[in-house]
Amino acid sequence: MATFRGADSTLLPAAHVADFPYAVAYSEFNSGNLIAQAINADAIDLGGWSEIPMVFAAAAKSNVAVVATLEGPTTDQAVLTPANSPYKSISDLRGKRVGYIRATTAHYFLIRMLEQAGLSWTDIQPVALSMSEGLTAIKSGSLDAWATYGYAIQILETAGAARVLQSAADILSGHYFIGANPRKLGDPAFRAAAADYLDRLNRAYATLEADKALWAKVVSPVIHVPEDVVLAYLRAQNRPYRARAWRQDDIVSAEAVARTFAKAGVLPQDANVAAVFSPALSKLLPG
């Protein structure tokens, strides 16, 4: 099972729903595109990502299957700039070095923000970086801005190293996906375990949504961000997490994302997004 730092492997035990009747081994990742690559390589059986790694996987005809949708907040996604930079808006980034995490929400919302500002991808100096590389680069001052997500934002803000230039909260759909290893979906025991795991994940999120102080308490030492900062971040989330069966409108939304990347010349025009969706768990999950 793929997890992010401070996510499933922390949250399910905290909510007392980690008493699995099957074996669960976690592997930690810091971006959804790496999880999709790991499933394609037969190294992981289940993991989550946003619409963006999924459309890249579809374009590459990767061996992955979307089996569920995870609705979630969009308030933890933003373009950051060094705290002492002179930039006031995205339009100020013309000709500047802007970091991003390829094939993730950061890649997508950066393209959309540039479009909104009347700029294109070629109007900036885009620098594809991993999460750890981006953290180092923005702290060192070698980037003018960085499109990123998650607790990296709080880590940098808390350290006084960066500030939010623009939030992506109103750009992203809030649709995240649960991907599975297609090689395992023919096994009824795997399907049952995967559905049970997602039920436990929903129960964990419901428990912690009702007690965000507990959520912050268990996550803070794992991600090395002060508890009060984590709590403020959790309280600012604009919607809760909830796993459910995917719907047709999820495919439509993902296809719109694919068209954005195709227009920017990043993906081919003929990426078959719908082909990645599998109904293998649909009858086992809430709608």
Residues 159 and 236 in one domain: no
Residues 126 and 101 in one domain: yes
Residues 200 and 222 in one domain: yes
Cα–Cα distance measured from residue 23 to residue 19, given in angstroms and rounded to the nearest whole number: 10
The number of distinct structural domains making up the chain is: 2
- Residue-level pLDDT at 155: 84
Residues 52 and 15 in one domain: yes
Give the mean pLDDT per block of 10 residues along the chain (287 residues).
95 98 96 94 96 93 97 95 97 98 94 97 96 94 95 87 96 95 98 98 98 97 91 92 97 95 91 96 96
Domain boundary among 143, 167, 191: 167
Question: pTM of the full predicted structure?
Answer: 0.89
Domain ranges, residue 242: 2-72+174-264
Domain boundary among 144, 167, 190: 167
Residues 144 and 24 in one domain: no
Residues 110 and 238 in one domain: no
In the chain, DSSP assigns E strands to 2-4, 27-29, 46-50, 65-71, 77-82, 97-100, 125-128, 145-149, 162-167, 175-180, 242-244
Residues 63 and 83 in one domain: no
Residues 247 and 203 in one domain: yes
**Residue keyed to tokens 């950051």:** 80
Residues 90 and 50 in one domain: no
The answer to the question of residue 247 being in a domain is yes
- Residue-level pLDDT at 225: 87
Give, to the nearest 10 degrees, the angle between helix 51-59 and helix 105-116. 100
- Residue-level pLDDT at 152: 87
- Residue-level pLDDT at 30: 85
Residues 117 and 98 in one domain: yes
Residues 126 and 192 in one domain: no
Domain boundary among 142, 167, 192: 167
The answer to the question of residue 215 being in a domain is yes
Residues 58 and 178 in one domain: yes
The answer to the question of residue 157 being in a domain is yes
Q: What CATH number does residue 141 fall under?
A: 3.40.190.10
